[in-house]
Amino acid sequence: MSDNVYEKLEKAYSCIREKTSFVPEIALVLGSGLGAFADERVDIEAIVDYKDIEGFPVSTVIGHKGRFVFGTVGGVKVAVMQGRVHYYEGYPMTDVVMPARLLSMLGAKVLFLTNASGGISKKLGAGDFMLIRDHVACFVPNPLIGENVEQLGTRFPDMSNVYDNRLCEIIKNSAADLGIDLKEGVYAQLTGPSFETPAEIKMLGVMGVDAVGMSTAVEAIAARHAGMLVCGISCVANQAAGISPNPLTHDEVQETANKAAPRFKALIAECIENISDHLQLRDI
């Protein structure tokens, strides 16, 4: 099993390396509504379509492009995922986290995750941004289940500081510099694809969850396992089920995420430059 996982990663790595020798400092995963960041903000050096990478999972969600964009943002070398796959699409969890692991193999030291979520906490409304301080991932299969991939990391990785405190401070300062209001909270990943019931949202709220979505936490686990530093920002696209009186729709999520995108893109660009400046990533 672990050989399969690692062999698959090595094949995918070779496919990318046949096309580009680019080594990113920071890897960025673009969530709903953010795809245009790669076209607008990145000085592109290379593009690799997911479909051209052997064994790579390809997203079936409308509105998600499927490609790696390699280039620079304010001079910082980035690998951007324009589109991600979700567990609900039917891929095994090891495939869902394959991109995060590949980004580590390509040289990225930081994984910067973004997503859209439903707000549970009273302090979160549609259009708000939430810095992810911690996550609840125990409602989805752990992506490290199976024989441990020793080449990547240890069997029992620590998860007491998944979202790196230094990165969180840099992101908070970047938001303050831009005058962007940034909330903080705990993100829970559920499998989807159905939205939650009001009872599930009530349960998550009691458990201390501030926002809920269908991605991100498993990618963060795989990245930490591989030794990357992780950070994440969630765009609250709607109030979660039962908090809002209205039924939830994917269109509503997309629409709010699209509206928030200009501010979100500015924030991410600022964060990338500041993270690179502060952490001197080449020394990590």
Q: Which residues bind ligand HPA (CB under 6 A)?
A: 116-118, 195-196, 212-214, 237-238, 240, 248, 253
Among this protein's residues, is 135 annotated catalytic? no
Cβ proximity to ligand HPA, 228 vs 248, nearer residue? 248
Query: How far apart are the C-alpha atoms of 134 and 231, rounded to whole Å?
Result: 10
The structure tokens 């009273």 sit at: 122
Cβ proximity to ligand HPA, 1 vs 207, nearer residue? 207
Shortest approach of ligand HPA to residue 123 CB, angstroms? 16
Query: How far apart are the C-alpha atoms of 5 and 98, rounded to whole Å?
Result: 8
Among this protein's residues, is 225 annotated catalytic? no
Cβ proximity to ligand HPA, 149 vs 204, nearer residue? 204
Shortest approach of ligand HPA to residue 176 CB, angstroms? 26
Among this protein's residues, is 250 annotated catalytic? yes
Among this protein's residues, is 226 annotated catalytic? no
- Given the residues 81, 100, 116, 223, select the one marked as catalytic: 116
Cβ proximity to ligand HPA, 79 vs 204, nearer residue? 204
- Strands 110-119 and 229-239, by their bridges, are parallel
Among this protein's residues, is 174 annotated catalytic? no
Determine how many CB atoms are found less than 10 A away from the CB of residue 69: 23
Residue nearest to ligand HPA (CB): 118
What's the Cα-to-Cα distance from 235 to each of 2, 55, 142, 156, 199, rounded to whole Å? 34, 30, 24, 31, 23
Among this protein's residues, is 175 annotated catalytic? no
Among this protein's residues, is 238 annotated catalytic? yes
Shortest approach of ligand HPA to residue 249 CB, angstroms? 10
Contact in structure between 6 and 152 (CB atoms under 8 Å):
yes
Shortest approach of ligand HPA to residue 88 CB, angstroms? 10
Contact in structure between 110 and 230 (CB atoms under 8 Å):
yes
Contact in structure between 83 and 66 (CB atoms under 8 Å):
yes
Contact in structure between 26 and 109 (CB atoms under 8 Å):
yes
- Given the residues 38, 79, 81, 86, select the one marked as catalytic: 86
What does 200-234 look like in DSSP terms, one character per residue? HHHHHHHTT--EEESSSHHHHHHHHHTT-EEEEEE
Cβ proximity to ligand HPA, 59 vs 238, nearer residue? 238
- Kindly state the tokens that stand for 46: 């290379």
Shortest approach of ligand HPA to residue 196 CB, angstroms? 6
Shortest approach of ligand HPA to residue 279 CB, angstroms? 30
- Strands 129-136 and 182-189, by their bridges, are parallel
Nearest to 98 by CA among 156, 24, 149: 149
- Kindly state the tokens that stand for 143: 């992506």
Contact in structure between 229 and 167 (CB atoms under 8 Å):
yes
- Given the residues 81, 108, 214, 257, select the one marked as catalytic: 214
Grouping H, G, I as helix, E, B as strand and the rest as coil, residue 231 is strand
- Given the residues 89, 196, 200, 270, select the one marked as catalytic: 89
Cβ proximity to ligand HPA, 87 vs 195, nearer residue? 195
Among this protein's residues, is 86 annotated catalytic? yes
Q: Which residues are designated catalytic?
A: 32, 64, 86, 88-89, 116, 214-215, 238, 250
